Structure 1
Amino acid sequence: MEHSGALSRVDVLEEYDMKQLHDNGNGGRPSRKSSPNCTLLPILEAEDLDGEIKIFYPRLYFSSRGPLIITRTFVVAFLTTLIPSFLGRSPDRAASKKLHPTAYLDGLRGVAAFIVFIHHFIIDWYPMLCRGYASSEPGHSRYFLQLPLIRVVYSGRGMVSVFFVISGYVLSYKAIRLMRARQYSILLDSLASSIFRRGMRLFIPIAVSTFISMLFCRWGWYSKDPMGRNTIPSRRGDFWYQFKDWCGHVIRISNPLVDVNGRDLYAPPYDGHLWTIPIEYRGSIIVFLTLLCVAKLRPWLRLYVLAGMVFYSIWDSHWEVFLFLSGTLFCDIHFLASTLSFRDPHRQIVKEAVLIIISLFAVHLLCFPDEQSITTPGYRTMISLTPRYSSDQGLTQRFWIAIGAFILVGAMNFSTMLQRPFTTPLAQYLGRISFALYVVHGPILYTLGMQMLMPAVREWNGGVGWANYGLRALGAWVVNLAVCVLVADVFWREVDARSVVFTGWVAQKCWDREKTRG
């Protein structure tokens, strides 16, 4: 996610309302209703398999047919799990009829996760697309897809920055709503719950996905890409040694005491794309602590303080903190803007036109090339304007795509026209599986993707033409996309969503309830 984030669904990642999770009169199951006041991660309305077994078990215990029926029940449940949610019964279809006010952020995150998948696929097949247009000899930098704006369809690093802004926004939504309602007691409970559950919410799915990745490594399913760009694990001794190695990396990626920043990125060997997850966790904690700090400030003063923290972060080259706090700032502005009205239709049209132009400039920044930007027309001028504290080649790109993500989400915050494409059913579906798609696409590309790429590379080296290679690439893209979406759909329902319920259950069991006055 590269990172997803993402996070959230790189959470990206939303927080559940504890009352909805546990006080809904449904046996502790998540509520089937979607609250317009909270940004929630929808959970599959699946059958409770444990409940079915408990019902069957007493009657079948002394029956000779019991094992057969139980086996059949498990087989049917397993096959049902493999049915994509968009083909089967889904609770989100009913909930999606009425979208919450920030539903466009879910869609934007989904599209961003899809672009990250394209990025990681396409740079394996066409490494030259990492370069900017006209940055080098014509044979490697004069392709249509390298043009600014056009290259946004595979600008994965820019999408990671968008993830982080969305995370800051979503994680702040409920807290800022409570601040503006002056419900400080509920706000404290909400922040305490969010901080308590955040680590589990992020790292349980990561532990599952990297454990599967560890098994792939043991089975010898991983293959290196021709350019050696991908981070894949090495096979280490016997299974027990490999397991201990995996445990060590899971502990490292989830350790809240390890210094995490945007300058020294840690790529976990069991999926290098998950470098974003420690940053996601750190950024989340910074958001929660910031919200606690400004909770009782006057609204106008809170805006000034948040704006000051945002710009100090980018001035001090902490591009990741800048992105998360930008989301918090935009969320506060969203509630402020909701109290204002613009009734003049002519001014509304002008406003939308200006915001569209601004968003195009933001997309241009998000398309900052991964390689040879210093010789790319347009971007080399931007490099000369980069502050000295971000003059490192990697930080230069991070600086400008962070600015681009800031401008894009800021423009969308005020434009219903820009929001509209991201509230479509397709975008909303991608938003629901976005975190899962980000998590699973790496191992799939390292296995299935490489099995399709390597024969094509050998044929290319043998003299096959561009057309044949391009057809192979297109076919591989379709196959890998289909597999990634199907696996992400299952992972979302069976791992991601269940981890949300589990963290809510743990919090409910651990939480000290207030005593009611008699």
Structure 2
Amino acid sequence: MSSYNPSHIYTRLRETIPLTLPWNGGDPNVKGDPRKSVKWIDGLRGIASFLVVLTHLARAWDYDLFSPRDNEEASPRVLQWPILRIPWQGRIGVTIFAFLTGYVCALKPIKLSRAGNSAGAFSTIARSAFRRPPRLIFPATIAMVISWVMAQCGAFTVANRSDCWWCRYAAPDLEDSFYKEVIRLFKNFLSTWTTGYMAYDDHQWALLPLLKGSMLVYILLFATMYCKFRYRMMIYIGMILYFHQDNAKDTETFQLQCVYGMLLSDLSYDLTFKEFVDYHSWARKVVAAFLAIFGLLVAGYPGEHPEWSSWSNYMLWLAQYIFPPDVNIGKRYTAIGVDCIIMAIYISPSTKEFLSNRLLLWLGKQSFAVYLVHGTLLRTVLCWMLYGISGQPWEETVDADGNVVPPAWLHIRPPWVVAISIPAWIILVYICASLWTNYVDPFCARMTQKLENLMFEEDEKPQPPMPLTSIPMPTT
């Protein structure tokens, strides 16, 4: 038996076990370090939320922007041209939200997994999956209750009497008793999280599929945690192709985008890909420009009457060969366009830097609050600005035969009033969103944390270090 010195064993262990792991510490300036900036994600989120607001304004008061021209014989307006039509016709904002869900939910678990901390990755997935429902449900329910209270006070009366067909469609009509309205409130809470329908603010329809999308991300992370990187990439691509051929409603908007977000989140930690992109700078710029232009053209497919223009009619013809039958072609093209645009951003450092400016970061911080409050404010405050607060006069008349004749819809005010009202209303939306972000969101976060502390097991106490005497001694 050779002589034994415990300090020798300790020294050998320190030399064998690395002090730092890849993507877990080290110099933040080193390529591939996880502390790289992901601020561009918040900037992209801010743009997406603003596009949602613009879309709903166009849907309410200029629905012809959803078509390539006002009618089959008319010349297209500038805002109906390809690319320029994207902010007004919708679809792109919610699709971006779904991508961001996949990207952000996967970021930390993949980082921990690549660092060799699988236990930490699984713990992160468990806690994130638990927090996700209350972090969506709590603020959405508060927004629903506020909208319900405003409805009881008659705040939607003007919207229901206006000449805006979409405002009339989306503004709730009251039941004939307060008791029925209370029952209706609870039914709407259930339907929001079961069917996606909510009478008091129909913009909440996207929250349920976004919640389901996040759960898909957590399940896929769990299932692929121990897969090698190249095989995880193959699984992501297989899932994307699966959802592409699935003609179920909105799979291209939510499930496909969530998996695509996971793919890019995982790819962001791959040094080989980063070095390849950085080395081929000119090729990267050409590819990014092509992807951006192609994506913008594809995402501009009209939501209504694509047959009225030659370029969109060709896309309509092509859709039968690249999409499964009985799908929403507009949403399918939007999914492809968004994916190309995001890839162009992903490989373009200058675009990421632009998306990280202070204004877009601030807009991104308010994005969820904007999504929750803008619908109610549109059908109340903005309608008051454009039609009057009282909704009067509104008197039924009787014709010569004794039939009741309903009054004409309230007409919108002159263009100069509209030109002043809409920018002022947008400012109001972001003021309310900022207050929501500063007060309501922290309250919901605290409630979620209390719920987690109540329901989760306490973390295991750290085990004492194994004494060196228990390590088997080498023999000679």
TM range (shorter): 0.7 to 0.9
Report whether the alignment pairs 1:491 with 2:436. yes
SS at match of 1:386: helix
CA-to-aligned-CA distance 1:472-505 (integer Å, 9 cap, x gap)? 3221211110110100111111112321232123
Asked if the contact 1:125–1:473 (Cα under 8 Å) also holds between the matched residues in 2, the reply is no
Residue among 223, 226, 238 paired with 2:163: 226
1:42-93, CA deviations, whole angstroms, 9 ceiling, x for partnerless residues?
xxxxxxxxxxxxxxxxxxxxxxxxxxxxxxxxxxxxxxxxxxxxxxxxxxxx
Q: 1:295-324 deviations in whole A, cap 9, x for unaligned?
A: 111111111111111111111132121111
**What is the aligned counterpart of 1:473 among 410, 418, 441?**
418
Distance change in 2, residues 1:112/1:340 (3 Å): closer
Q: CA deviation at 1:455?
A: 6.1
Is the contact between residue 110 and residue 266 of structure 2 (CA under 8 Å) also seen in structure 1? yes
- d(CA) in 2 for partners of 1:500, 1:433: 15
The Cα offsets for residues 358-382 of structure 1, whole Å up to 9 and x where unpaired, read as 1122122222222112333322211
Contact 1:205 1:496 in 2 (8 A): yes
Higher deviation after alignment, 235-244 or 182-191 = 235-244
Whether the aligned pair in 1 keeps the contact of 2:188 and 2:197 (CA below 8 Å) is no
Q: 437, 443, 449: which is aligned to 2:376?
A: 443
Matched residue count = 406
Pair 1:510-2:455 in alignment: yes
Counterpart among 214, 217, 221 of residue 287 in structure 1:
217
1:236 to 172, 175, 187: 175
Question: C-alpha deviations, 1:329-362, integer Å up to 9, x for none?
Answer: 11111211576325977x3133123202211221
Q: Partner of 1:174: helix, strand, or coil?
A: helix
Aligned partner of 1:122 in structure 2 is 58
| 2:363 aligned partner, one-letter code | L
In structure 2, give the amino acid aligned to 1:482: I
Aligned to 1:314: 244
Q: 1:370 to 1:453 in 2, by over 3 A?
A: farther
Q: Which has the higher contact order (CA 8 A, sep 6+)?
A: 1
Identify which range, 199-208 or 237-246, moves more after superposition: 237-246
C-alpha contact 1:124 1:226 (8 A) present in aligned 2: no
Instruction: Give distance in 2, aligned partners of 1:497 and 1:419.
Output: 28
Match of 1:48 in 2: none
CA contact (8 A) 1:132 1:369 kept: yes
1:107 to 27, 36, 43: 43
**Residue of structure 2 equivalent to 1:412:** 345
Q: 1:220 to 1:378 in 2, by over 3 A?
A: same
Counterpart code for 1:402: A
Q: What percent identity do the matched residue pairs reach?
A: 23
Q: Residues 308 and 236 (structure 1 numbering): CA distance in 2 closer, same or farther, change over 3 Å?
A: same
Deviation of the 1:111 alpha carbon: 0.9
| Conserved? CA contact 1:134–1:376, under 8 Å | no
SS at match of 1:150: coil
In the alignment, structure 1 residue 482 sits paired with structure 2 residue 427: yes
CA distance in 2, matches of 1:303, 1:352: 24
Counterpart-to-counterpart distance in 1, 2:24 and 2:189: 34
Query: What's the RMSD between the two structures over aligned residues?
Result: 2.9
Specify the code of the residue in structure 1 equivalent to 2:349.
Answer: T
What TM-score comes out, normalization by structure 1 length? 0.73
Per-residue CA deviation, residues 396-444 of structure 1 (Å, 9 max, x unaligned), is: 1111111111111122111112222211100000000000001100000
> Mind listing any 5+ residue stretches in structure 1 that lack a counterpart?
1-35, 39-98, 261-265
Q: Residue 380 of structure 1: which of 284, 294, 313 is its match?
A: 313
Residue 181 in structure 1 maps to residue 115 in structure 2? yes
Distance in structure 2 (CA, Å) of the matches to 1:156 and 1:484: 19
After TM superposition, give the deviation of residue 291 of structure 1 in Å: 0.7
Tell me, what secondary structure is at the counterpart of 1:182? Answer: coil
Alignment partners' CA distance in 1, 2:190 and 2:70: 44
1:74-89 paired onto structure 2 within 5 Å:
none
Conserved? CA contact 1:108–1:422, under 8 Å: yes
Runs of 5+ consecutive residues of structure 2 not aligned to the other structure: 1-22, 26-34, 393-407, 465-476
Higher mean C-alpha displacement, 412-421 vs 335-344: 335-344
Q: Secondary structure at the match of 1:195?
A: helix
